Amino acid sequence: MIGYYISLAMRSLRGTPILSALMIAAIAVGVGASMTVLTLNYMMSQNALAHKDDVLYAVQLDSWDPNGAYNRGGRGNEMPWQLTYRDAEALLRSDIPTRQVAMHRFGFTVTLEDSEVRPFVAETRVTTRDFFSMFDVPMLYGNIWNEDADTSPVQTVVLNKALNEKLFGGEDSVGKTVELNGEPFTVAGVIDYWNPSPKVYDLNNNPFSDSEEIYIPFGLHRKFQIYSWGNTNGWNSPDPEVEGYEGHLLSESVWIQFWVELDNDTRKKEYENLLTGYIQQQKEQGRFQRPLKFGLTRPSEWLVLNEVLHDDNRVLGWASLAFLLVCVVNAVALLLAKFLRKAPEAGVRRALGANRNAIFIQHLIESSCIGVLGGLIGICFALLGLSGIRMLSMGQIDQIASMDWLMMLAAIGLAILASLLAGLYPAWRISRTNPSIYLKTQ
Amino acid sequence: MLKMQNIRKSYRTDTIETHALRDFSLEVNEGEFVSVTGPSGSGKTTFLNIAGLLETPTGGEYLLDGQEIGGLSDRDRSRMRNEKIGFIFQGFNLIPDLNLFDNIDVPLRYRGFNTKERRRRIEKSLEQVGLSARAKHLPAQLSGGQQQRVAIARALAGEPRFLLADEPTGNLDSLMARQVMELLEFINEWGTTIIMVTHDPDLARRAQRNIQIVDGQVSDLRQSIAQEEIATV
Ligand SMILES: Nc1ncnc2c1ncn2[C@@H]1O[C@H](COP(=O)(O)OP(=O)(O)O)[C@@H](O)[C@H]1O
Ligand SMILES: [Mg+2]
């Protein structure tokens, strides 16, 4: 019977092409607009680390100014987002976490001897080796550097797939040499394509930018006098007695991102005790003059805390749904007009043995057909809208301004829901009307 | 077969209450061909609609095929209408964007027959009304008389026990009217009970029995015969 209703619906839609087009357009425009916004919001709220949400923690220590709490435009929990170098170095000595990562963004000038490739600057991450296993970075060739490279200078590098393609034509480059800032580095490994968006592990600058091209060990700071290419925040001037780069490493400037993996609650408790003890010990030495406070935050909460999805986006999401509702109301009016015009036919069907439900379902299916068609066109509108946003953002948010299958299904679902909603009242009206009225007026 | 006892039907609008049927009692037996006459607005269509379960009476008792209709749900009434009753209207009431085949298909769909059975019945009833060659035509491509024959085919396809016709010849010229009447008589000979409302005294007289409705009531039988005689003179 469903097949019969669908064929009746298609015939009916073809019978009034302009009215049908208007109704389909109303649904399509509403679905297109709301899916554009909802897709952006959905992609922005992705958590690439969801499967590790109960073991990973971003570490914060309140080492900030005793005269005023840390404040980043009203966001966050009034603690610095990053650690000082000296605190990171101290925490790395703990063996409570299964894994721990200290890291920040940087940039290296890359040159390749005897090569056509001109020198260029590559996005770099300076990190301890646990980064790769903690964030599930897939390896293509070779391996990560050894543990000693986290604390002592070893000139070794891991490339991402794209850079390996650019430098070595995509072949296994393990053991080969690249020059970074004029110094030779040995390729330890190459990672496969990996580009989580938003970049949960570092939300400091653009959370939707691409992952880094080059990864080098944390032990190289002093040798290359590495500063952060991301955010560095400070509140006092460095100790005048310690000069130069060493002064920077000992300063209260925060610029190191720190994550730990704690397998269970016992471990977490232990780590909390460690942090408490550490802060107390530092207090005795005259640091950490604010009330004792630290943060261990799961990836999902970290995304919320960092307001990756702004309140504005949420409001826009609701506004787009309100717009869809307006489109639905329009569709209700058009459907009602159409159904009432066809009321005599419904009367004849009733006389020939259709019960009220049959008439109701027939008309509801007709409006669902409008929904499916509107949904398909709505997806096209949303894809257009998203590509427009990609163009306006100049590649800043390429990854999030695209629809996945789930979102396409959601679009169809939304369209059917909208059209069912639109069809409910007209279909009900028509099914409740006494058929004799239409049969008598002859 | 059909038994109505003290049926009342009134319509209430904001200002006035119309009594379309009052104290209406009637019995029709299996296989009868009953014609119904009466002035315009006297309640003939209302009577047919109640008989055909399209409207519910305000009061009174109605038995169809031995079954009390009063307490039935919409679902049951619709099934009874589908299985036992065929309708023919003055305005034909074919669905304009369905071809003849699909028009006749409508009641069979609600009956739940499979494709093969529906096809068999559609072809048979089209043949009965002599329009087999036109199965793929749209109603608008036919003359009035042909359209009414399609409507009859549609009413017959479900093999109803009971055919209700509301001025089936009202929109037809006399030649076509006679053809339709002959068709109805033929159908009646094969056992279908027919109630036909008509304005045409000639046609009314051809039925086995004539009743007259005046002011929402069956008027005295003798009176109706007398009137008929006046009409014939
Ligand atoms: N749906 C309705 N609402 C209000 N009045 C109605 C309705 N249907 C019929 N009537 C009134 O009931 C009376 C009988 O109508 P009807 O049965 O159509 O008469 P007939 O078919 O004999 O011409 C008329 O006065 C008519 O105006
Ligand atoms: Mg009438």
Which residue among B45, B90, B196, B211 is best mutated to probe the pocket of ligand 1, counting the most ligand atoms within 8 A of its Cβ?
A: B45
Query: Does the pLDDT value for residue B155 go beyond 90?
Result: yes
User: Are B87 and A351 within 8 A, CB to CB?
Assistant: yes
CB contact under 8 A, A349 and B106: yes
Cβ density class B151-182: b for 16+ within 10 Å, e for less: bbbbbbbbebbbbbbbbbbbbbeeebbbbbbe
Flag the least confident range among A97-106, A399-408, B167-176.
Answer: A399-408
Tell me which H or E stretch contains A189: strand A183-191
Tell me which residue has tokens 């009874």: B80
- In A170-262, alpha helices (H): 221-224, 244-250
Q: Which pLDDT does position A360 carry in this prediction?
A: 96
Determine how many CB atoms are found less than 10 A away from the CB of residue A189.
Answer: 22
| Cβ of B43 less than 6 Å from ligand 1 | yes
Q: Which residue's entry shows tokens 């002064």? A: A247
Residue pLDDT, tens place only, A337-387: 999 988 999 999 999 999 999 999 999 999 999 999 999 999 999 999 988
- Greater confidence (B76 vs A411) lies with B76
Distance CA A135, CA A196 (A): 10
Taking the CB of residue B125, how many other CB atoms lie within 10 A of it?
23
Contact between chains at B111 and A357 (C-beta distance less than 8 A): no
CA of A352 to the centre of ligand 1 (A): 21
Residues ≥6 apart with Cβ < 8 Å to A14: A20
Going A405 to A407 to A411 to A414, the CA torsion angle's sign is positive
Of A11, A348, A354, the CB nearest to B97: A11
Q: How far apart are CA B47 and CA A350, in angstroms?
A: 17
Shortest CA distance from A10: residue in chain B: B97
Instruction: Count CB pairs under 8 A between chains A and B.
Output: 72
Is the CB of B82 inside 8 Å of chain A's CB atoms?
Answer: yes
Are A353 and B49 within 8 A, CB to CB? no
Indicate whether A63 pLDDT > 70. yes
Residue whose CA is at the smallest distance from ligand 1 atom 11? B20
Task: Provide the pLDDT confidence category of residue A441 given band limits of 50, 70 and 90.
Answer: low
Helix-then-strand count for chain B, H and E: 8, 10
* DSSP label at residue A83: E
> What distances in angstroms separate CA B132 from CA A426, B37, B101, B146, B179, one per listed residue?
37, 33, 9, 12, 17
- The per-residue pLDDT for range B25-62, each reduced to its tens digit, is 999 999 999 999 999 999 999 999 999 999 999 999 99
Q: Which residue of A348, A434, A440 to mutate against B (max B Cβ within 10 Å)?
A: A348
B79 close to A (CB below 8 A): yes
Distance B51 CA to ligand 2 centre (A): 14
**What span, in angstroms and rounded, lies between the C-alpha atoms of A234 and A252?**
6
Comparing A48-52, A399-403, B120-124, B172-176, which segment has the lowest mean pLDDT? A399-403
What lies within 8 Å, CB to CB, of B175 at 6+ separation is B145
What is the SS3 assignment for B18-36? EEEEEEEEEEECCCCEEEE
Name the DSSP class of B7. E
Q: CA A19 → CA A12, A22, A306, B144, distances in Å?
A: 11, 5, 47, 30
Give the domain ranges of chain A.
2-45+310-441, 50-305
User: What residues have CB less than 8 Å from A250, skipping those under 6 apart?
Assistant: A85, A86, A238, A239, A242
Query: Residue A239 is encoded by which pair of tokens?
Result: 């100790």
For residue A442, is pLDDT > 60? no
**CB atoms B82 and A1 under 8 Å:** no
Question: Mean of the pLDDT values across residues A316-321?
Answer: 91
Contact yes or no for B111 and A344 at CB 8 A: no
Asked if pLDDT for residue A431 goes beyond 70, the answer is yes
Side-by-side strand order, sheet with B2-12: B17-28, B2-12, B59-64, B67-68
Cis check: omega of the bond before A198, within 30 degrees of 0: yes
Q: Which amino acid is at B220?
A: D
Please name the member of B55, B81, B166 whose beta carbon is closest to the beta carbon of A353. B81
Which of helix, strand or coil describes residue A373? helix
Cβ of B45 within 8 Å of Cβ of A1? The answer is: no
pLDDT for position A396 = 64
The whole-number average pLDDT for the span B147-175 is: 92
What are the helix and strand counts (H, E) for chain A?
A: 14, 11
pLDDT at A333: 92
Averaged confidence pLDDT in chain B:
90
Residue of chain B with shortest Cα separation from A16: B97
B20 C-alpha to ligand 1 centroid (Å)? 6
Evaluate the CA torsion angle B216, B220, B221, B224 in order and state its sign: negative
How many C-beta neighbours within 10 Å does residue A381 have?
20
Is the pLDDT reported for residue A330 higher than 50?
Answer: yes
Gap between the Cα atoms of A123 and A212, Å rounded: 5
**A-chain residue closest to B80, CA distance:** A353
Question: Closest-lying ligand to the alpha carbon of A433?
Answer: 1
Can you tell me which atom of ligand 1 is nearest the CA of B47?
17
Q: Examine the pLDDT at A435 and tell me if it is beyond 90.
A: no
Q: How far is CA A69 from CA A72, A127, A251, A312, in A?
A: 10, 28, 18, 26
Q: What is the residue with the minimal CA distance to atom 16 of ligand 1?
A: B43
Which atom, in ligand 1's list, is nearest to the CA of B216? Answer: 14
* Rounded-to-integer distance, Cα B232 and Cα A219, Å: 120
Residue pair B165/A351 in contact (Cβ under 8 Å)? The answer is no
Best residue for ligand 1 mutational test, from A434, A440, A441, A442 (most atoms within 8 Å of Cβ): A440
Q: What is the dihedral of CA A291, A297, A301, A307, to 10 degrees?
A: 60
Ligand 1 centroid to Cα of residue B10, in Å, is: 9
- Beta bridge mates, A190: A141, A159
CA-based nearest residue to A364, from A429, A432, A425, A423: A423
The CATH number that applies at residue B214 is 3.40.50.300
How far is residue A366 from each of residues A24, A360, B25, measured CA to CA in Å?
12, 10, 43
Question: With a 6 A CB cut-off, is B188 part of the ligand 1 pocket?
Answer: no
The mean pLDDT value for A166-192 works out to 94
User: What residue owns the CA closest to ligand 1's atom 20?
Assistant: B41
Count how many domains chain B has: 1
A56-61 and A254-261 strand pairing:
antiparallel
Residues in chain B with CB shorter than 8 Å from the CB of A5 are none
- What is the Å distance from ligand 2's center to A442 Cα? 8
CA dihedral B206, B210, B213, B217 (to 10 degrees): -170
pLDDT average, residue stretch A129-145: 95
| Whole-number Å distance between alpha carbons of A255 and A233 | 7
d(CA A131, CA A100): 8
Instruction: Report residue B230's pLDDT band, with 50, 70 and 90 as the boundaries.
Output: low
Q: Encode pLDDT of B59-118 as tens digits.
A: 999 999 889 998 899 999 999 999 999 999 988 899 998 999 999 999 999 999 999 999
- State how far residue B79 is from chain A, nearest Cα, in angstroms: 6
| pLDDT tens digits, A81-101 | 999 999 999 999 999 999 999
Q: Kindly indicate the confidence band of residue B222, based on its pLDDT and cuts at 50, 70 and 90.
A: very low
* Residue B34 domain boundaries: 2-232
Average pLDDT, chain A: 91
Cβ(B90) – ligand 1 distance below 6 Å: no
CA of residue A345 to ligand 1 center, whole Å: 21
Q: The tokens of B18 are what? A: 């119309």
Exposure class string for A12-27: b at 16+ Cβ within 10 A, else e? bbeebeeebeebbbbb
Q: How is residue B70 written in tokens?
A: 């009063």
